[in-house]
Chain A
Amino acid sequence: MGARSVRTGASAVEEEMTQLARPGLPVTRRRHSTTWAGIAFAAPLLAYLGLFYAYPLGENIAMSLQRFDRGTFVHGGAPFVGFDIYREVVGDAKFWRVVAQTGSFTLVSIICQYSIGLALAVFFHRGGFRLSTVLRGMFLVPWLLPVIVSGTVWQWMMNPDNGVLNSALGVFGAGPVWWLNSHNALMSVTIANIWLGVPFNLVILYSGLQNIPADLYAAASIDGAGAWQQFWRITMPLLRPVSIITVLLGLVYTLKVVDIIWIMTMGAGTSQTLATWSYGMAFGKGASTVIRYSQASAVGTILLVVALVFGLVYLALQRRGED
């Protein structure tokens, strides 16, 4: 089967695809009633966001501009210091190291979670084998566990002395790894986080696949397209909106991951990320029990700005998809 025949074959379904892939076409004639109806439908959400997000968000930014300690947090009187806290945080000896670790934790997690999640979603969606529904359901079970439990289980499995992971490596002749020492900690928490994130990707991508009409595949199949071509020419393009949102949400969630890292290492060594750093300072936990509300808020705000950038990228991608 040649590439040419596939191309011509694919064009047979092109029309139907275009309609589906460009669902968000802007309305050409916009009526006033539509606008007001849209606002009416979104009004409860707007009120909700204003009520419950505006105050904490404002508070967070306000805190990063004043120098708080426990006493002034309680009784007031924290001096306004402008952007001093930001300068201190960015000037901290470990700031850029932590940024790099956060970047690698986030990127590796996202890439692995998305590709594993997608591969599994396609595998289960093709289905046609016994127990496929049951097994797919089982994949979500890790999600039901409290992270305190799954994090601890990972810590035990990664025990350098008698952990089951090292035993498994031993079977293949590899030497034991000190998973959670300061050097390997980043790799180890990333592995656990990937495990934690696969079900999320699987669920969303799977329901995205379900929205792709089966007759497209049937048509492509008649046209002689193999499984691989079907994947790249039908699945990937039609899954694009869902993929973008999955990756975007994945980015946002991974950036703010604290619990799994905290339970496994308390952010020791290379496993410190911006989120765990901020968490430790906000609660006076981790290596230093000194509470640093302002610094924590500053790091939190920096994370927010990073999310804003991703948000802009998302909007740009969405717009490109529509034009």
Chain B
Amino acid sequence: MRKTMNHVWRIAVAASLCVSVTACSGNSTPSPSGSGDASRGATTSEIRFWDPYPQHAAGSAWDTHVKSCAPAGSTIVRSSAPQTDLFNQLTTAVKEGNPPDIVSLDNPMMPEAAASGLLATAGQAGIDTSGVDENLLGPGIVDGVAYGVPFGSNALGLYYNKAILDQAGIDPASITSWDALNSALEKVVAAGAKGITFSGVTGEEGVFQFLPWFWGAGASLSDLASDEAVSAGQLVSDWVGHGFAPKSVVTDNQSAAYDLFLTGEYAFAENGSWFAAAAAAADFETGVIPIPSKAGGVAPVPTGGEFAVAPVQTTDASDHYANAAAVIACLTSGNAAMVTSETLGYLSARPKTRAEQVAANPVWAPWVASVEGAEGRTTELGAQYVEVSGQLSQAIQGALNAAGDAAAVRTAFTDAAGI
């Protein structure tokens, strides 16, 4: 109890000092590479594993799979939280010297996490990144150093409701440009169905869904006010204006947009490969086509999915890294790698495993091209991406609210770019 009080006093004193004296500097300035090396450590009896999949509850296939990767003599304690919360919890845990052994971190967060000194390098933590596709590994490489390995990759595609397209006399294979897509939307709506669902919600999720149109128009993240960028904004804005897309896109996240598609009333849904298995089992027949670019052809989609990383450790670092090395190796190599991808609904980040996956499960076939052509969101801008993504999110919201008004769409993009 005395010890307790001492702690509390010390904290209170420290806090008051912070106010009066200049800065409260901690132990050191950010240093991405601390000490510790997986090869010099030994696995411990308890291994803590954090992931952003709360939907995979205790006892689920994913939970069992992760726990089966515990090295002999160890048990894995797994816990979950949504993406952003997980990143914040990791931040606080590293600050307090109490991070887990392994974290599954969303790929656009990688540059910031690495630059903030939260992650051990792949070398330190004994993580093998060989054989992973360059575009998928990209977000995990900061200043030429790898910080983790992707568990797999997902991608965005255009789901369609076959019955609705048949009725309107549309061949999905013919939808390879914006014009083709727009004329298809016009036809299905004229035939009495609804058009397309997607997520335009504020934040990264809405940006993720917008990027295929943005990149597909030839726009670049370094210039949000370009004509190409505005034309992508105009495309989605017109959908709302013409009644092709529901007005609720301004608040729908990807799950909500998918639920709308599940009603069977909509012809198309822009959504992720994680729904591929569920869509195949829907009440109606569905199919998938790649997202078309403006001029024609397949638009680049952003890479999706999480990286397996080892947080920076301050005490017994080598042992913690040894834990990470063992568990990550188990989850991302050999036969277990395929189980990992299948249970998460991802395509493997290694071409060899991916080919086996497609051979075993035909539902993945339409996604391969999208995954292989995907671009990392942070590849162009690195840690600057989060800032630009926030501006782009404002622009998207402005465009959707404009419901087709061209002047308002342009203003939304120029305002967001700060011009």
Q: Give me the interface of A with B, judged by CB distance under 8 Å.
A: 50-51, 54-55, 58-59, 61-62, 65-66, 69-80, 155, 159-161, 178, 180-183, 264-269, 283-291
Contacts and interface: CB of A to CB of B under 8 A. Distances in A.
B367 interface: no
B389 A62 contact: no
Nearest to B204: A289
B117 A71 contact: yes
Contacts of B401: 181-183, 269
Given A55-B15, A268-B202, 9 more contacts: A69-B116, A73-B116, A76-B27, A80-B23, A181-B247, A182-B250, A287-B394, A290-B387, A291-B88
Q: Give the contact-size bracket for chain B.
A: 35 or more
Interface in B62-97: 84-85, 87-88, 91, 94-95
Interface stretch (B28-36, B173-181, B292-300, B330-338): B28-36
A78 B23 contact: yes
A75 B12 contact: no
Contacts of A77: 23, 25-26, 28-30
A65 B85 CA distance: 25
Contacts of A70: 91, 112-113, 116, 118
Contacts of B31: 75
B15 A285 contact: no
A62 B117 CA distance: 22
A265 B251 CA distance: 6
B19 A58 contact: yes
A283 B84 contact: yes
Interface in B96-128: 108, 112-113, 115-118
Would you call the interface of chain A mostly helix, strand, loop, or mixed?
Answer: loop
B201 interface: yes
Interface string B381-406: 00000110111011001100100000
Interface of B: 8, 11-12, 15-16, 18-19, 22-31, 84-85, 87-88, 91, 94-95, 108, 112-113, 115-118, 201-204, 246-248, 250-251, 386-387, 389-391, 393-394, 397-398, 401
Contact of B390 (A55, A69, A287): A287
A287 B389 CA distance: 8
B91 A289 contact: no
A273 to B, nearest CB: 15
Contacts of A285: 84, 203
A287 B202 contact: yes
Contacts of B389: 288-289
Contacts of B26: 75-77
Contacts of A155: 251
Nearest to B389: A289
B251 A75 contact: no
Contact of B30 (A66, A71, A266): A71
A288 B391 CA distance: 7
Given A285-B84, A288-B387, A74 B23 contact: no
Tell me which of B27, B28, B31, B250 has the highest count of chain A C-beta atoms within 10 A of its own C-beta: B250
B22 A80 contact: yes
A113 to B, nearest CB: 24
Contacts of B28: 75-77
B18 A62 contact: yes
B248 A161 contact: yes
B40 to A, nearest CB: 23
A2 to B, nearest CB: 57
B251 A264 contact: yes
Contacts of A66: 23-24
A160 B116 contact: no
Contact of B397 (A51, A73, A160, A269): A269
Nearest to B11: A55
A287 B248 contact: no
Nearest to A163: B248
B12 A55 contact: yes
Nearest to B31: A75
B19 A61 contact: yes
Contacts of B202: 265-268, 286-287
Given A78-B23, A268-B397, A289-B389, A58 B18 contact: yes
B30 A72 contact: yes
B214 to A, nearest CB: 16
16 contacts: A62-B19, A65-B19, A70-B118, A74-B94, A75-B31, A75-B95, A76-B25, A77-B23, A159-B248, A161-B248, A178-B247, A180-B248, A180-B251, A265-B251, A287-B390, A289-B386
Contacts of A55: 8, 11-12, 15
Contacts of A65: 19
A288 B387 CA distance: 6
A266 B201 contact: yes
B18 A59 contact: yes
Given A59-B15, A62-B19, A73 B87 contact: no
Contacts of B391: 288
Top 7 closest pairs, chain A to chain B, by CB: A76-B26, A288-B390, A58-B15, A62-B18, A71-B116, A70-B116, A160-B247
Given A182-B397, A266-B203, A74 B247 contact: no
A180 B116 CA distance: 36
Nearest to B88: A283
A75 B91 CA distance: 10
B24 A62 contact: yes
Contacts of A182: 250, 397-398, 401
